[in-house]
Amino acid sequence: MVYFCLKLFQMRKLIDIDEKTLTKLKVISIFEKTSVKGLIENAVQMYVKNMQSNQFNNLSEEEKEDLGLMMLMQEVDRNDKVSEEEIFKILGK
């Protein structure tokens, strides 16, 4: 067994890879012109993205709207203030 130290999200994890899989990863990394570490990181990112996509597709329309609103709320600048008058002005349109 070979142990790799993989850094994802600023956290180091040891993963156990058998020799056969490691050899395949080395060959693929040569063709992809990347490191084995980079190849594993890309594979993990693709897997996570795929799982998130599958989970999103299984949500109801209301859950999708809630998730979208939550994502928008996370992007907002919390230091940006709007007066009550401006809000009512926009709502009055």
Left, alpha or beta for 80 (phi > 0: left; psi -120 to 50: alpha)?
beta
The answer as to whether 82 is a domain residue is no
pLDDT at residue number 28? 92
Whether 7 contacts 18, CB under 8 Å? no
More confidently predicted of 45 and 92: 45
Decide if 35 is inside a domain.
yes
Q: What is the value of pTM for the model shown?
A: 0.52
How large is the average pLDDT for residues 78-85?
Answer: 84
In a domain, 92, yes or no: no
Mean pLDDT, the chain, rounded, equals 83
User: Is 85 a domain residue?
Assistant: no
Distance CA 43, CA 35 (A): 12
Q: How far apart are the C-alpha atoms of 79 and 44, rounded to whole Å?
A: 35
Burial of 41 (0-12, 13-18, 19+ CB in 10 A): middle
Residue 10, in any domain of the structure? yes
22-66 residue pLDDT tens = 899 999 999 989 898 889 889 989 999 999 889 888 889 999 899
90: in domain: no
Full residue range of the structural domain in which residue 23 is found: 1-61
Task: State the pLDDT at residue 6.
Answer: 52
CA 9 to chain centre: 10
Q: What is the pLDDT of residue 71?
A: 86
How many domains in the chain?
1
